[in-house]
Structure 1
Amino acid sequence: MTTSAKSTSFDYVKSQLFHSRKKNIEVVSNFSPSVNGFNKNCFDGSKSFRLYNRIHPNIDVVVNGKKINGSASVGETSYVGLKKCEVIKYKEEDLAQTCMLGKFVEGRFVYKQTFIIRSYEIGPDKTATMETLMNLLQETALNHVTSSGLAGNGFGATREMSLRKLIWVVTRVHVQVNKYSSWGDVVEIDTWVDAAGKNGMRRDWIIRDYRTQNVITRATSTWVTMNRETRRLSKIPDEVRQEVEPFYLNRYVFANGDDDPDKINKLTDDTADIIQSGLAPRWNDMDANQHVNNVKYIGWILESVPLNVLQDYDMTSMTLEYRRECRQANVLESLTTMKNADPLTTITKDIESTHLLRMQDDRAEIVRARTKWLPKNMIDQQP
């Protein structure tokens, strides 16, 4: 049977309906013009079926004239003697909005979103990685822009930015982790924005354990605008400033400015303990703005961290200073120096590391970074 372009939406409904293969049911749907085909393909004339788990919040199922929607769990309810099943799908834009699962709080100054830690987002110790945390922060930020109604046709860009061919680029990120979530945990992320000097924007985040509401991660970042064609930094136009200023919240995620403000020293061949060469970006490392996704740099930084540190320690803090774009054609080198520990054998109470990612050919700097580490059995004991 040839299905319409929207037939993938039927598959979701089908997965929510357990059915026997009996006959004589009328199924009405606004998913597709091909209603008869939908009857045969999805329900096969079922005379009874069972709804389980949760129907998607944006899909209504009407059984014998009674609507059952996604606002409540329907459990293992079984319906026998079914004569009519009507499946109603809302507008595509409403469905996309619902799937974001985010909401505004505190007078629309703070955007809140929840996530579950998936199996593919954990490391060998079954907890979320720093890359996972950074990806969740980025996802929340992008959904914040979209939900605010400001989104243009760019990757997180506002409408006025899109008209001027501008994109956001991050210049600095600082993350402090009190506890890493485990596989299956649910986390709640709050994010908000404020001005950063005359031509920057600051974005902060708080991650809480959804069950306990304890703060487990804090993060702050600085962003500037860049012309997506010339790749040159740009002042924030007044029109863009007028768009984002109503969302500014004068609140700092770190008390007393404790966001690792110290300068990160540049590493050289002489000062680095370990140098890992030949790191090549892949096509899948590129983002929608046609440069390497800023989260990808974390993995390359860790390429030059000693294995015993990765196995026996948790990263409690990471500061990244982005200095240059990286494209797919570039080949990189990762440099690391360790403080308070022999890079091969010694385990101490805490370790501080300095890192550098640079171009392999001309040694131009891409990212400077600093990380702090505690033994795995000590991270939960932090104040």
Structure 2
Amino acid sequence: MIRKENLLRRKLSVVANSTGYWAAPTDMINGKKLNGIHVGKMISSTDACMLGKFVEERFVYRQTFVIRSYEIGPDKTATMETLMNLLQETALNHVSSSGLAGNGFGATREMSLRKLIWVVTRIHIQVEKYSSWGDVVEIDTWVDAAGKNGMRRDWIIRDCNTQKIITRATSTWVIMNRETRRLSQNHNEKIDKLTDETAGRIRSGLAVSLKFEFINTLDDAKMERHGCQLHVNNVKYIGWILESVPVDVLEHYNLTSMTLEYRRECRQSDLLESLTSMKAKVSEESSNKSRDLLSTHLLRMDDDKAEIIRARSEWQSKTTTLEVI
């Protein structure tokens, strides 16, 4: 027969673990063994959750992640949406760990007071290798000014074991008033708090080119419709875009590069159309029967056809190459 007090102690230990605190064994009371010897202390719940750190003289923020089972696709490797979510998480933790975070989603205290928020206008990501379930990846991120009224954020993802760069990404952001939904001008002082001119010393060679070309028309495009919900995460749009990609492409090709230009936001109950146009990628070096592909994507309103996002992607045949860690 199990004594009630022993059962209660075990339950309390489990609860303590779930909140990020150091859990005492059942033979301890108030952090001490029954013989009076002190052994350890509580671990901060913040430290348990925020595992990132600043490196390169605090110009770069670094965080590690394990690829979870719910973050992989049918081939047991991380999906593009997973990578984009990890990039976003690292960026937000960077702002939070810098001590500048207000009560907004990645906004500084000054921005929160002025009812300002960050909105992304462009993202470009290039994937060299996809990590598998259980792999550990290391993500570095840093920021810099982009033009007069924008901010640029870059990332690199490394395989934690080999330290080889497997993904590069870059993005451009502007500040918008969350009530008027209009872009804010002359906010250099806000950007200066997140950037430093001398950071260029360690950024050389890491950034990905933002060169982006669109196809004007989408011939023979596949189309899907989606209902838009309130507070759409920018990564959610990627899933909607990929739903209009032909199934055989998703099965036999890896998505190696993606560039997105965000034109406007969608609102609650909006109905969206997702269109994708595919074509073969012409390459003088390629002699494979199964050539690589290029795709152009358009996410637009169903009623007035106003553009939400335009995107361009590159696909590589799984039989020729993209290496999986």
TM range, smaller chain: 0.7 to 0.9
Partners of 1:161 and 1:188 lie apart in 2 by 29
Match of 2:119 among 166, 169, 181: 169
Q: Which residue of 2 aligns with 1:41?
A: 8
CA, structure 1 residues 88+247, in 2 after alignment: closer, same or farther (shift >3 Å)?
farther
Match of 1:278 among 215, 225, 240: 225
Corresponding pairs, count: 314
Give the SS at the match of 1:169: strand
Q: Which residue of 2 aligns with 1:303?
A: 243
In structure 2, what residue type is equivalent to 1:159? R
1:314 aligns with 2:254: yes
Residue segments in structure 2 that go unaligned for 5+ positions in a row? 282-287
Partners of 2:180 and 2:11 lie apart in 1 by 57
| 8 A contact 2:156–2:206 mirrored in 1 | no
Q: Which residue of 1 aligns with 2:308?
A: 366
Match of 2:65 among 92, 115, 118: 115
| Post-superposition offset of 1:279 | 1.1
Partners of 1:347 and 1:205 lie apart in 2 by 34
Q: Which residue of 1 aligns with 2:104?
A: 154
In structure 1, what residue type is equivalent to 2:22? I
Match of 2:267 among 300, 319, 327: 327
Partners of 1:132 and 1:248 lie apart in 2 by 32
| Post-superposition offset of 1:64 | 6.0
1:375 aligns with 2:317: yes
Give the SS at the match of 2:129: coil
Give the SS at the match of 2:194: helix
Give the SS at the match of 1:352: strand
CA, structure 1 residues 371+44, in 2 after alignment: closer, same or farther (shift >3 Å)?
closer
After superposition, give the CA deviation of every residue in 1:170-200 in whole Å (9 maximum; x if it has no partner): 0000000011111111111000011111111
**Segment of structure 1 superposing worse, 114-123 or 253-262:** 253-262
| 8 A contact 2:31–2:41 mirrored in 1 | no
Partners of 1:87 and 1:264 lie apart in 2 by 59
Q: Of the two structures, which has the highest relative contact order with CA contacts closer than 8 Å and spacing of 6 or more? A: 2
Residue segments in structure 1 that go unaligned for 5+ positions in a row? 1-19, 25-38, 69-80
| Post-superposition offset of 1:255 | 4.3
| Post-superposition offset of 1:22 | 5.6
CA, structure 1 residues 44+173, in 2 after alignment: closer, same or farther (shift >3 Å)?
closer
Match of 2:152 among 192, 202, 205: 202
Counterparts of 1:80-91 in structure 2, within 5 Å, are 88-89=41-42
- CA RMSD of the aligned region, Å? 3.4
In structure 1, what residue type is equivalent to 2:59? F
User: Among the aligned pairs, what percent are the same residue?
Assistant: 59
Partners of 1:351 and 1:254 lie apart in 2 by 30
Partners of 2:211 and 2:138 lie apart in 1 by 27
| Post-superposition offset of 1:274 | 2.2
CA, structure 1 residues 21+107, in 2 after alignment: closer, same or farther (shift >3 Å)?
farther
Q: Which residue of 2 aligns with 1:192?
A: 142
Partners of 1:111 and 1:217 lie apart in 2 by 16
CA, structure 1 residues 256+311, in 2 after alignment: closer, same or farther (shift >3 Å)?
same
| 8 A contact 1:333–1:357 mirrored in 2 | yes
Rg comparison, structure with higher value: 1
CA, structure 1 residues 257+152, in 2 after alignment: closer, same or farther (shift >3 Å)?
closer
Give the SS at the match of 1:191: strand
| Post-superposition offset of 1:280 | 1.0
Q: What's the TM-score once normalised by structure 2's chain length?
A: 0.85
